[in-house]
A and B are shown apart, each in its own frame.
Chain A
Amino acid sequence: MRAIRAIWMRLRRALDSEFDAELKSHIAMDVENGIQRGLDEQEARRQALIRLGGAEQVRQAYRERATLPWLLDLQRDLRFALRTMARNPGMTAVVILTMAIGIATTATVFTWIDAVMLQPLSGVADPSHLASVATMAAGGEFITNSYPDYIDFRDNLKLFDGIAVMRPAAFSIGNEEHSDRVWGELVSGNFFAILGVKPEAGRVFLPSEYGDAAGKYPVVVISDRYWRTHYGGDPRAIGSTIRINQHELTIVGVADPAFHGSMAVTSFDLWVPYMQQPMLNGVQTWMLRDRHTRNLLGIARVKHGVTMAQAGQELKALADRMALAHPDVSEGVSATLLPLSQSPFGPQGLLVGPLRILMGVSVLVLLIVCANVANLLLARATMREKEFSARMALGARRGRVVRQVLTESLLLTSLGAALGMAATPLLSGALKLLMPPGFMETLVSLRVRPNLAVLGFTAGVCVLAAVAAGLLPAMQVVRLNLSARLNDGGRSGTVGRRRNRMRSVLVGGEVALALVALVGAGLFTRSFRQTMRIDPGFDPNHVLLSQLYLSTNGYNLAQRKEFCRRLEEQMRSAPGVDGVAFSDGVPLGFEPSWWEELKVEGYAPQPDENMNIFRNVISPGYLPLLHIPLVEGRNFTDQDNENAPPVMIVNEAFARHFFPGRSPIGHTVHGWGSWFRIVGIAKNSKYHYLSESAPPYFYVPFRQMYREDMNLAVYVRTPGNPDNVLATLRRKARAVDPNVTVFDAAPLSEFIGASLFPQKVAASLMAIMGGIALLLAAVGLYSVMAYWVAQRSQEIGVRMALGARPAHVLRLVIGKGLMVTLAGLVCGAALAMALAHTVSSVSFTNSAMGSSASLLGQGGGDPLIYIAAAAFLCVVALLACWLPARRAALINPNDVLRTD
């Protein structure tokens, strides 16, 4: 306020000084003229000033002309508006809060959408030419790429400036005594060049570091965040060494502060060349050359002047050629370009589906808010018709009255808008709360900046609605015949009746929209419940899950296995521990699930049959610990070790598919270059989604098949609360090796909720939005009915004087309110049915496999939900009408008839 005033003063001074100069020159000329006529200078000046009419008076008149009219009016209008607002604190609060809620929720959702879908990557150059390379397996699922795939893409694509590959990875930074775990990306050397990321300090990777030589690039680029938190932004950090996974790397630069890595809404802190893996996590050099080792995501930059379609075609043609050239690994594999916003990997894949629906819902809420604010202002303006008429009768011009109403509406709504805008950044951070527990939660970036354009738009829509609602009645008044308005007692004008109809329509619309939101919430919640009830086929209760990052401690493969053996030994003897197990993949988790291409003895695959079968690598304790029963054969034992012949356990679906009508036990299956003998059949369970139908699946023993690039999840079963056993796990892990830290421990039952996450988000957010919509509709209904009663109090008084009982009046008012509600419900039901049909086609992808599952169980046709939502709305409407109805019923005819 002070700043505006300062600017204003300066402007005024400039204006004044210019006029002073003009005045001075005027007087000087007049004085000169007088002197020429023979007067002495003093007399000439005196006469000049008289003719002028006094310098100060002229200045005053001039200033008034220059500034005051509209400014004074504005000031007066503002003061009056504030007084009016203070006189109606209830209505003022409702309007402001309604607007704030509407703007904040809508802007928050749009901010998320912006961060996830519209501008997934920040800090990169020209993102419109970047695209996500999506490789697809024969079945159409999105899969990741191997490093040899990358080399093929890099060396053969002509329509691209280049392609970069990357994979997220956890690193441990520090020495043996103290280490932090930090998330980063293993990237191809050209990563920064392709994305167009500038260094903030130092440099990014040099072309000489783009090569494919294993272990030759001991360099690292750190994020601005990491630089500031760990080095205090000290430029001397550049060139210093950093101890990552117990190996020394040189920090060569700091990335642009806006750059957080190659995944939307995530923040990484380190970027290390992919080729450093042999040194950093013991990955064998041959695995870098192995087409089976698919663990890389790709982002490509399309050349200028080349369309995405052309580039996509070239990529697909090359991928198809590669599939033909390497049929053993890539049969049927194809690739396509996807806009960055549609990348199926990472948190984005999870959020896109729910966010789309959320966007629709927030538009609903925005509409309800607009209707509501319009409604309230309409009511107020109607009540003030007499005041406007009086003003005009006293000589106010039409424009003046309109301007006053405009000022009031604007003040009221901009207060609401400001409050909403202030709340938006706070709400935007809540995105983190929506992520499932585990590593995704720690990764999600809090740096979602509210988008000003979005905020402006949302606020603009509300303000526009409000101003229109405030202004229309005023305009009508202004056009009216003055005497008619003033003579009419302001009780029952015909205009009032028409406006009442308009308000009823608005409220009916609100009810309809609220029904849509409620039905949506109901449908999503039911779908979520249904999925929850599905038996996963294993028992996740009383199990603690944690991830060990042994490779970051510089362990080689044998050391890792030894660590696991000793940890298991230690844990078994600990109190409160029923069992310990290890595995690579976590069922229903977020980490990718892997597969292996199999040959099954005695089974001839169909020509286009997908022989890539999902698998898990497990310790002998895994199946018993998760209560997955064996239907035939035996479990793995400690004797199934490196020196024993390879063995395998398959699930029922596997047995049924590959060995129909006979037992698979004793038969052999080929994978990873050797033959495995099937020793057991496990019961089917859920692996990726609760809603999946059992796919063929198999298990191989941890000691026989564990490789350097695999994860290591540890499970501990306890009779009590899994959280209580965490301390034991920490202690025992430290007893085996003091350097090993247990990160990310969570009860398995919570962790597997991850697979339900998109449905959970959709259900809970819809419930919140539905609640807001309901509340707003109730407020709208109440305000209309309360106003109606106030307007009709005299009529009601007359009715009662003529013998109507309070019960009649109650019925009259409630009936009127229910009419509006019912009309709204009918429209809302039709709208909801149409929308549910559309929404049921929206799906989400789980980063595990990139395949999609439907958000909404079975369509949207459950009549029970519609009936329940409608009934609930009716009850709320009854309540909203009941308060004014009671007031009407309590009217004392004597009082009413006498006051007027």
Chain B
Amino acid sequence: MGDKTDVWQGTLALMILKTLETMGPQHGYGLARRIEQTSGDLLQLNYGTLYPALLKLEQEGYVRSEWGTSDNNRRAKFYELTKAGHKQVRKAAAEWEQATEILSRFLTPAEEA
């Protein structure tokens, strides 16, 4: 387990948003599983941290929640992107890409210079 990475600060929200965008409405447990799977099990995700993060997104108006029934007939709270959430995914993704791109210029050996 020691080779797994912790979730970087500030990235969990984007992971949640992106996952919700691709998967549609999803409950907390499903989201946690999905994020783990997407990371190829490289990420050490504390499932519990998901809920305050979801609440924050909800307070910010990016997601909304509703009680529903899961695949195996269990009552669960489902989260879904709002319109603002869709916009935020694009914005945050673009920002992240820019950040990684800037960082990658430092990390890859200079070719043009």
Chain A interface (Cβ < 8 Å from any Cβ of B): 19, 21-23, 25-26, 28-30, 32-33, 51-55, 57-58, 61-62, 64-66
Residues of A contacting B70 with CB < 8 Å? 25, 29
Give A54 Cβ to nearest chain B Cβ, in Å.
7
Give complex CA distance A26, B29 in Å.
Answer: 5
| Sample (15) of A-B pairs whose CB atoms are under 8 Å apart | A22-B76, A25-B75, A26-B28, A26-B29, A29-B29, A33-B33, A51-B46, A53-B47, A58-B52, A62-B52, A62-B55, A65-B52, A65-B56, A65-B59, A66-B55
Q: Are A61 and B49 in contact (CB under 8 A)?
A: yes
Q: Are B75 and A51 in contact (CB under 8 A)?
A: no
Determine the residue in chain A with the shortest Cβ distance to B56. A65
Determine the residue in chain B with the shortest Cβ distance to A55. B48
B contact face: mostly helix, strand, loop, or mixed: helix
Give B26 Cβ to nearest chain A Cβ, in Å.
12
Q: Are B75 and A21 in contact (CB under 8 A)?
A: yes
B34 at the interface (CB under 8 A from A): no
Q: Are A25 and B27 in contact (CB under 8 A)?
A: yes
Residues of B contacting A25 with CB < 8 Å? 27, 29, 70, 74-77
Q: Interface code B50-64, partner A: CB below 8 Å = 1, 0 otherwise?
A: 011001100100000
Give complex CA distance A21, B76 in Å.
Answer: 8
Determine the residue in chain A with the shortest Cβ distance to B65. A22
Give B15 Cβ to nearest chain A Cβ, in Å.
16
From B47, B56, B72, contact of A32 by CB (8 A): B72
Contacts A25-B27, A29-B76 known; 7 new A-B pairs at CB < 8 A: A23-B51, A25-B74, A53-B49, A58-B51, A61-B49, A62-B55, A65-B59
Determine the residue in chain B with the shortest Cβ distance to A65. B52
Give complex CA distance A32, B30 in Å.
Answer: 13
Residues of A contacting B29 with CB < 8 Å? 25-26, 29-30
Residues of B contacting A33 with CB < 8 Å? 33
Closest 4 A/B residue pairs (Cβ): A58-B48, A53-B48, A65-B52, A53-B46
Q: Are B55 and A51 in contact (CB under 8 A)?
A: no
Determine the residue in chain B with the shortest Cβ distance to A27. B29
Residues of B contacting A61 with CB < 8 Å? 48-49, 51-52
Residues of A contacting B32 with CB < 8 Å? 51
Give B108 Cβ to nearest chain A Cβ, in Å.
36
Residues of B contacting A55 with CB < 8 Å? 48
Give complex CA distance A205, B77 in Å.
Answer: 65
Q: Assuming the A-B contacts A53-B46, A65-B56, are A19 and B51 also in contact, with contact meaning beta carbons closer than 8 angstroms in the complex? A: yes
Residues of B contacting A65 with CB < 8 Å? 52, 55-56, 59
Q: Are A52 and B56 in contact (CB under 8 A)?
A: no
A contact face: mostly helix, strand, loop, or mixed: helix
Give A350 Cβ to nearest chain B Cβ, in Å.
60
Give A25 Cβ to nearest chain B Cβ, in Å.
5
Q: Interface code B21-53, partner A: CB below 8 Å = 1, 0 otherwise?
A: 000000111101100000000000011110110
Q: Are B47 and A26 in contact (CB under 8 A)?
A: yes
Residues of A contacting B74 with CB < 8 Å? 25, 28-29, 32
A-B contact count (CB 8 A): 63
Give complex CA distance A23, B27 in Å.
Answer: 11
Q: Are A57 and B72 in contact (CB under 8 A)?
A: no
Determine the residue in chain B with the shortest Cβ distance to A22. B77
Give A577 Cβ to nearest chain B Cβ, in Å.
87
Residues of A contacting B28 with CB < 8 Å? 22, 26
Give A48 Cβ to nearest chain B Cβ, in Å.
8
Give B59 Cβ to nearest chain A Cβ, in Å.
8
Give complex CA distance A41, B33 in Å.
Answer: 19
**Which chain B residues (56-108) contact chain A, with CB distance < 8 Å?**
56, 59, 70, 72, 74-77
Residues of A contacting B33 with CB < 8 Å? 33
Residues of B contacting A52 with CB < 8 Å? 46-48
Q: Are A51 and B76 in contact (CB under 8 A)?
A: no
Q: Assuming the A-B contacts A29-B29, A29-B76, A65-B56, are A22 and B48 also in contact, with contact meaning beta carbons closer than 8 angstroms in the complex? A: no
Q: Identify which of A25, A30, A53 gathers the most chain B CB atoms within 10 Å of its CB.
A: A25
Give complex CA distance A65, B48 in Å.
Answer: 13
Residues of A contacting B56 with CB < 8 Å? 65
Give complex CA distance A33, B72 in Å.
Answer: 11
Q: Assuming the A-B contacts A22-B76, A25-B76, are A62 and B27 also in contact, with contact meaning beta carbons closer than 8 angstroms in the complex? A: no
Give complex CA distance A55, B32 in Å.
Answer: 15
Residues of B contacting A62 with CB < 8 Å? 51-52, 55
Give A70 Cβ to nearest chain B Cβ, in Å.
11
Give B20 Cβ to nearest chain A Cβ, in Å.
16
Residues of B contacting A26 with CB < 8 Å? 27-29, 47, 76
Q: Assuming the A-B contacts A51-B46, A53-B46, are A64 and B52 also in contact, with contact meaning beta carbons closer than 8 angstroms in the complex? A: yes
Give complex CA distance A698, B47 in Å.
Answer: 103
Q: Assuming the A-B contacts A25-B27, A30-B29, are A57 and B51 also in contact, with contact meaning beta carbons closer than 8 angstroms in the complex? A: no
Residues of B contacting A21 with CB < 8 Å? 75, 77
Give complex CA distance A58, B51 in Å.
Answer: 8
Determine the residue in chain B with the shortest Cβ distance to A26. B29
Determine the residue in chain A with the shortest Cβ distance to B36. A51
Determine the residue in chain B with the shortest Cβ distance to A32. B72
Give B78 Cβ to nearest chain A Cβ, in Å.
10
Give complex CA distance A322, B74 in Å.
Answer: 88
Residues of A contacting B47 with CB < 8 Å? 26, 30, 51-53
Give complex CA distance A30, B27 in Å.
Answer: 12
Residues of B contacting A23 with CB < 8 Å? 51
Residues of B contacting A54 with CB < 8 Å? 48
Determine the residue in chain A with the shortest Cβ distance to B76. A25
Give complex CA distance A681, B77 in Å.
Answer: 102
Determine the residue in chain A with the shortest Cβ distance to B53. A65
Give complex CA distance A62, B74 in Å.
Answer: 22
Give complex CA distance A29, B77 in Å.
Answer: 12
Give complex CA distance A758, B59 in Å.
Answer: 61
Q: Identify which of A28, A51, A53, A55 gathers the most chain B CB atoms within 10 Å of its CB.
A: A51
Residues of B contacting A30 with CB < 8 Å? 29, 47
Residues of A contacting B52 with CB < 8 Å? 58, 61-62, 64-65
Give complex CA distance A190, B27 in Å.
Answer: 71
Give A619 Cβ to nearest chain B Cβ, in Å.
87
Give B69 Cβ to nearest chain A Cβ, in Å.
10
Give A44 Cβ to nearest chain B Cβ, in Å.
13
Give complex CA distance A19, B49 in Å.
Answer: 13
Q: Assuming the A-B contacts A30-B29, A32-B72, are A22 and B49 also in contact, with contact meaning beta carbons closer than 8 angstroms in the complex? A: no
Give B9 Cβ to nearest chain A Cβ, in Å.
15
Give complex CA distance A550, B52 in Å.
Answer: 85
Residues of A contacting B59 with CB < 8 Å? 65
Determine the residue in chain A with the shortest Cβ distance to B70. A29
Give complex CA distance A32, B33 in Å.
Answer: 13
Give B54 Cβ to nearest chain A Cβ, in Å.
9
Give complex CA distance A197, B76 in Å.
Answer: 59
Determine the residue in chain B with the shortest Cβ distance to A15. B55
Q: Are A22 and B46 in contact (CB under 8 A)?
A: no
Q: Identify which of A33, A55, A61 gathers the most chain B CB atoms within 10 Å of its CB.
A: A61
Give A592 Cβ to nearest chain B Cβ, in Å.
70
Give complex CA distance A166, B63 in Å.
Answer: 68
Give complex CA distance A32, B72 in Å.
Answer: 10
Residues of B contacting A51 with CB < 8 Å? 32, 46-47
Give A685 Cβ to nearest chain B Cβ, in Å.
81
Give complex CA distance A51, B27 in Å.
Answer: 16
Give complex CA distance A26, B50 in Å.
Answer: 11
Determine the residue in chain B with the shortest Cβ distance to A61. B52
Give A22 Cβ to nearest chain B Cβ, in Å.
5
Q: Identify which of B47, B72, B74, B77 gathers the most chain A CB atoms within 10 Å of its CB.
A: B47
Give B103 Cβ to nearest chain A Cβ, in Å.
27
Give A286 Cβ to nearest chain B Cβ, in Å.
83
Give complex CA distance A328, B19 in Å.
Answer: 98
Residues of B contacting A28 with CB < 8 Å? 74
Give B65 Cβ to nearest chain A Cβ, in Å.
9
Determine the residue in chain A with the shortest Cβ distance to B30. A29
Residues of B contacting A64 with CB < 8 Å? 52
Residues of A contacting B75 with CB < 8 Å? 21, 25
Residues of B contacting A53 with CB < 8 Å? 46-49
Give A313 Cβ to nearest chain B Cβ, in Å.
60
Residues of A contacting B76 with CB < 8 Å? 22, 25-26, 29
